[in-house]
Amino acid sequence: MVGAGRPFGTVDRMSVIMTLRAAGSHDPDVLRARKELLVRAARWPQYLGFASMLLGVLLSIGRPGPAAGVPVAVIGWWLWRRGVRNVTAVESAYSEFVKSPSP
């Protein structure tokens, strides 16, 4: 499954489609449940990125200063963007899979 064992990796369209195919059904409820699992796994970088950006801002204001806060905030922004891209990839691949005719 996408995201299993590598929570901070990237998610591509084909891996999402193959995961949806592995469900073995075109039942909308089954596919929606599988999509929700994929989205939940793809959102981890987004959550961690937001927390890192917040920590970076707090570090910049606090005693360690910008030398510690700015790199943490930049890494947080990068992780957050990766999470957004992963969720977008899951959503677009899901809509493509649902629109395609069932085999």
Residue 32: the pLDDT is 93
Q: What is the pLDDT along the chain (103 residues), one digit of tens a residue?
A: 555 566 677 888 998 999 999 988 888 899 999 999 999 988 899 999 999 999 999 999 988 888 889 999 999 999 999 999 999 999 999 999 998 876 6
Query: How far, in Å, are 15, 55, 56, 71, 101 from residue 3 at the CA level?
Result: 10, 25, 26, 26, 26
- Give the pLDDT score at 11: 85
pLDDT at position 26: 86
CA gap 57, 60 in Å, rounded: 5
